[in-house]
Every structure is written in C-alpha cells, then in structure tokens.
Amino acid sequence: MSGGDAKKLVRSPSGLRMVPEHRAARSPFGLDEPPWVPDKECPRCMQCDTKFDFITRKHHCRRCGKCFCDKCCSKKVPLPRMCFVDPVRQCAECALVSQKETEFYDKQLKVLMNGATFFVTLGTSDKSELMVCRLSNNQRYLVLDGDSHYEIEITQISTVQILTEGFTPGGGNTRAIGMILQYKVPGSEEVMQMKFTASEDISCNKKLSASWLAAMHKVSK
C-alpha cells in the first residue's frame, strides 16, 4: 500500500492542498471541494442578507461554497478532510463542524494508526488469535497482524458494535472491552464478522485498547 501513498501539492481557488497522486488512494474520510456559488448569483450575503458593493466584499466558504460577507465568513479554520495545507476561510456554521473534525484528525485517527493489541476471532470459530490492529497510513484499511494477516477496507465495513462492561441499572461508568465488526468481502455480497477482545495480559495496555476502541467508535459514526 505504501507505493500508492505518494502525495502532490496542488493549488485550487480555495488554497493549497496536499492530495494523494492517485484518486484511488484517497482517505475514505476525505471531502471534495464544493463548487462555488457564482458571483452573479449572490448579490447579497447568504447569511445576513447584506448587499454586496465596493465596500462590502463577498467571500466564499471553502467548505460549503456559499457566498458571505466578511463578518459572516471571517474565521480561518483547518480543514483536513479537504487536505488543505493551511487554515481556510469558512462560514460560522462550517467552522464549528471543522473544529470538531480537527480534534478527530488530531487525536482519534492518530490513536487508530498507532494500533492496539486484541484477541481476534473470525466468524463462528472457537479459536482466537492475538493480533496488532491498526489503521493504515492512508486511512483506507484496517490492518491486522499476527500469525495471520488481514486488510479490511474501511469502506467495506458495514457495522461496528462496541462491547462494554461495568454498566449497572442505576448508572455508572462503562469500559470498552472489545468490538464486533462486520464487513463485506470485495467482489461478493458475503458478509464476514470479526470479534475483537482486549487482552487481559499484563504486557498489553488495557487503557490503550480502550482508547483505540473509543476512536473506532467515532470512526463508525
């Protein structure tokens, strides 16, 4: 997979972007740049309805492509889902969404790519295998390494069920201890299932496994 991870710097009307050389290598979490609303179709700000003139200039939100005045589109926020190198101008609504996503990119994705160790059970088998599970660098595959090796394309995952313990009827803290993953086999309609269980081995970091599972839960959303 590493051979297809090369990137190139491109310039668009919205700014500089560092994108994969091959479209097939794009992250499944990526977004395409939206088409901009043509200037002639937006005589007024699409948020506050202020009329544009020589003093009140129009600006396009890099996330939604709509047209706004400076007051309604003044924030410059990172937009990793579109691979922008620098923070870009966004309207207030889009800026809030992008700020939340930045935390996901800065924290959860890094946790997933660092990986964690689980006992993995395939289908209805009564045998499990200790495997290191991680997200590939291009974010396209869930990679499992042990005596066996699996690569599951993220876009083929249909359901993610996080398994927890510690819940009581009166409430209380829960701890993620595993997950059940269902995914489609490429080229067929067959659905496979894998069960991941956090290892109780002292040498394995339970906290790391719980953080990895929490990040996987966010990915599934």
| CATH number reported for the structural domain that contains residue 78 in this entry | 3.30.40.10
Is 59 part of any domain? yes
pLDDT at 1: 39
191 and 105 in a single domain? The answer is no
Q: Give how many domains the chain has, as a whole number.
A: 2
pLDDT at 170: 54
Closest residue by Cα to residue 61 from 43, 81, 44, 75: 75
132 and 48 in a single domain? The answer is no
Is 1 part of any domain? no
Domain boundary among 91, 111, 131: 111
- Rounded Cα–Cα distance for residues 80 and 93 (Å): 17
Compute the mean pLDDT over every residue in the chain, rounded to the nearest whole number. 87
Q: Going by DSSP bridges, is the β-strand pair 128-135/116-122 parallel, antiparallel, or unpaired?
A: antiparallel
19 and 82 in a single domain? The answer is yes
Domain boundary among 76, 92, 111: 111
pLDDT at 219: 76
139 and 214 in a single domain? The answer is yes
Is 189 part of any domain? yes
97 and 162 in a single domain? The answer is no
Q: Is the distance from CB of 119 to CB of 129 less than 8 angstroms?
A: yes
Is the Cα torsion angle 155, 3, 129, 29 positive or negative in sign?
negative
Is 100 part of any domain? yes
The first and second tokens of residue 128, run together, are 């499990």
Is 102 part of any domain? yes
Residue with tokens 């993610």: 160
Angle at CA 108, nearest 5°, toward 105 and 111? 120
Q: Is the distance from CB of 97 to CB of 31 less than 8 angstroms?
A: no
pLDDT at 197: 92
State which residues form the domain around 185: 115-166+175-220
Is 39 part of any domain? yes
- Rounded Cα–Cα distance for residues 105 and 113 (Å): 11
36 and 93 in a single domain? The answer is yes
107 and 119 in a single domain? The answer is no
56 and 147 in a single domain? The answer is no
The first and second tokens of residue 135, run together, are 């997200």
101 and 127 in a single domain? The answer is no
pLDDT at 126: 85
65 and 139 in a single domain? The answer is no
Is 2 part of any domain? no
Low-confidence ranges of the chain (pLDDT < 70): 1-5, 167-173, 200-205, 221
Domain boundary among 94, 111, 128: 111
pLDDT at 187: 81
Rounded to two decimals, the pTM is 0.74
Kindly report the CATH number assigned to the domain that includes residue 128. Answer: 2.30.29.160
pLDDT at 201: 62
104 and 150 in a single domain? The answer is no
Is 95 part of any domain? yes
92 and 139 in a single domain? The answer is no
Q: Is the distance from CB of 113 to CB of 101 less than 8 angstroms?
A: no
pLDDT tens column, 78-93: 999 999 999 999 999 9
pLDDT at 88: 95
